[in-house]
Amino acid sequence: LAKTTQPISMDSYEGQEVNITCSHNNIATNDYITWYQQFPSQGPRFIIQGYKTKVTNEVASLFIPADRKSSTLSLPRVSLSDTAVYYCLVGDVGATNKLIFGTGTLLAVQP
């Protein structure tokens, strides 16, 4: 399973676009890149998943370069309620689908 590296924390202000980059140099061919969000006292929540290029949904965008050794989660116009820990996970979605969590990035959005 590929190891991921992401910043421990980031600060932002309301209304700004936030980009969180994750490095996964050892990503394998069968690996997908998935991002989860976790608020205090809650379980993680799936945000977005991709394999290559760009994926967009109603919450975020995920940019994956051609070499797939990194990925960037983009949150448009963040609000205070986006303050949370964001996890980048990389893995083969094979038999178990078990998730391997790293330390995550604590995003703090200020007014």
Partner 1 sequence: EAGVTQFPSHSVIEKGQTVTLRCDPISGHDNLYWYRRVMGKEIKFLLHFVKESKQDESGMPNNRFLAERTGGTYSTLKVQPAELEDSGVYFCASTRAGVLNEQFFGPGTRLTVL
Chain residues that interact with partner 1, rule: CB under 8 A: 32, 34, 41-46, 49, 89, 91, 93, 95-103
Closer residue to partner 1 in complex, CB, 14/100: 100
Cross-strand partners of 59: none
Min separation Cβ 37 and partner 1, Å: 11
Alpha carbon distance 69, 71 (integer Å): 7
Min separation Cβ 81 and partner 1, Å: 17
Closer residue to partner 1 in complex, CB, 77/98: 98
3-class DSSP state of 15: coil
Closer residue to partner 1 in complex, CB, 75/104: 104
The position carrying tokens 């608020």 is: 39
Alpha carbon distance 31, 58 (integer Å): 23
Min separation Cβ 43 and partner 1, Å: 3
Min separation Cβ 34 and partner 1, Å: 5
Residues with Cβ within 8 Å of 87's Cβ and at least 6 positions away in sequence, in order, are 35, 36, 37, 38, 44, 101, 102, 104, 105
